[in-house]
Structure 1
């Protein structure tokens, strides 16, 4: 109740010196909140301190443009155009925008640099990175294409690739970067099945020698994998007993980002 009073006061003070119909229309739209889902002409007239006929004219204008709709003669509620604008607002927010605060939290929790990647056909692209200020700094730039068969982030994406796409990706020769790289298609398939079962990927020197990587899938609103979050560190600086802690941190961050993506309709 106090929130409604505060908002009303803001409207009265905020419109001083303004006479434009557009300003009044915005004032009306901002009157709606969780406790006030329907407005009458009398409500608007009182809040805007105008005649009821003037308030009704504003309401009719908003209704004609789809921003409001009449509700059984009891007043006006938000219309389909507002819902459409909300959809467009959600659509304009990209995965990188949602990921940055999550990645900062992941870096703070693990002390490792973090990477956000996405698979596009037969390539893995770096969307975002967050450095940790340690001696290990990720050299990948935003937009850079990464290996498809090496590194925790790539394997976390490849593990959930559709079967037909995976067959195509593994049909040709696979590059080998280190002795630990999964360059044998049959062996890689078995490894990807294990990743799907456990829900995350752990890489030990598959792309860069002496580098440990941990990656987990990020899902969109439809449940499909739309990206991967990963961290990396020098293997000799991460005791085996600490790896489960970092796995948990990465998986929780990926789940958090998945939830944000689902709420924003990204998929």
Structure 2
């Protein structure tokens, strides 16, 4: 039984990696997961045969659209978020920015709802995809407010530096977490993608428990001028989304 279990575990590692990183070549996957390249090629063939992955340009692989359909079905089963699409659309209409809803699952931040704003489509967070806990407004909000920090840092000793603004040291992140807890929201300014800003606020359920984070994101120049306005919209919608989630 050990070999089938190892195969499933390695396949799961590939799926999680592609969800985090996007398009990757077999060589990149092998290097990041410390797996033999023949093993990676064999696992990718198997995942492709059941339509979990698909080839793209430059000999790279990505997750297939099947995951979006699965994500939609999974979210439909979560009764607390059935009114989320309408409210995400409202955020996009009122702010012009891209809006998304992220929830904590098994030590990760997973996007379960997304609405494109009127600006250029620069945000790659889509339903079903995981986002980093240490970088970006959505993940940092959940890191600060919804999970056990000691367990997170123990399980994630190495963190990816996306840009020169990304916080990766534990001491830096703990300072950022303290600031988030004090002011109740997260501001992301180029720590995942240069030129992109985002704000995230928590969505709280009963007894103040954080159920997820609600985020608006867009081009820095436009976003910065309307930061206070966008934050007020997020807070307003987060309160109403929390009420729906509590029904």
TM-score range, shorter chain: 0.5 to 0.7
Greater helix percent: which structure? 2
**TM-score normalized by the length of structure 2:** 0.65
4+ aligned runs moved over 3 Å, structure 1: none
Aligned to 1:185: 170
Residue pair 1:219, 1:227 contacting (<8 A) in 2 also:
yes
Aligned to 1:246: 230
Aligned to 1:238, what secondary structure does the other structure show? helix
Aligned to 2:218: 233
Where does structure 2 lack aligned partners over 5 or more consecutive residues? 1-75
- Compute the displacement of 1:224 (Å): 0.6
| CA displacement 1:15-74 (0-9 Å, x = unmatched) | xxxxxxxxxxxxxxxxxxxxxxxxxxxxxxxxxxxxxxxxxxxxxxxxxxxxxxxxxxxx
| CA displacement 1:187-211 (0-9 Å, x = unmatched) | 1111111111111111001111110
Alignment map for 1:50-89 (pairs within 5 Å): none
- Compute the displacement of 1:116 (Å): 0.5
Which of the pair has more CA radius of gyration?
A: 1
1:257 aligns with 2:241: yes
Where does structure 1 lack aligned partners over 5 or more consecutive residues? 1-90
1:176 aligns with 2:176: no
| CA displacement 1:57-108 (0-9 Å, x = unmatched) | xxxxxxxxxxxxxxxxxxxxxxxxxxxxxxxxxx966233121111111111
Aligned to 2:119: 134
- Report the CA distance shift for 1:111/1:183 in structure 2 as closer, same or farther (over 3 A): same
Residue pair 2:81, 2:245 contacting (<8 A) in 1 also:
no
Residue pair 2:92, 2:118 contacting (<8 A) in 1 also:
no
Which one of the candidate residues 88, 104, 107 is aligned to 1:122? 107
Which one of the candidate residues 177, 184, 204 is aligned to 1:219? 204
- Compute the displacement of 1:111 (Å): 0.6
Aligned to 2:179: 194
Alignment map for 1:18-167 (pairs within 5 Å): 94-162=79-147, 165-167=148-150
Residue pair 1:220, 1:261 contacting (<8 A) in 2 also:
yes
Residue pair 2:123, 2:218 contacting (<8 A) in 1 also:
no
Aligned to 2:206, what secondary structure does the other structure show? coil
**Aligned-partner Cα distance in 2 for 1:95–1:115:** 15
- Compute the displacement of 1:223 (Å): 2.1
**Aligned-partner Cα distance in 2 for 1:143–1:92:** 14
**Aligned-partner Cα distance in 2 for 1:239–1:215:** 14
- Compute the displacement of 1:157 (Å): 0.8
Residue pair 1:200, 1:215 contacting (<8 A) in 2 also:
yes
Over aligned residue pairs, what C-alpha RMSD do you find? 1.8
**Aligned-partner Cα distance in 1 for 2:220–2:78:** 35
Residue pair 2:201, 2:215 contacting (<8 A) in 1 also:
yes
- Compute the displacement of 1:236 (Å): 1.6
Aligned to 2:56: none
Aligned to 2:233, what secondary structure does the other structure show? helix
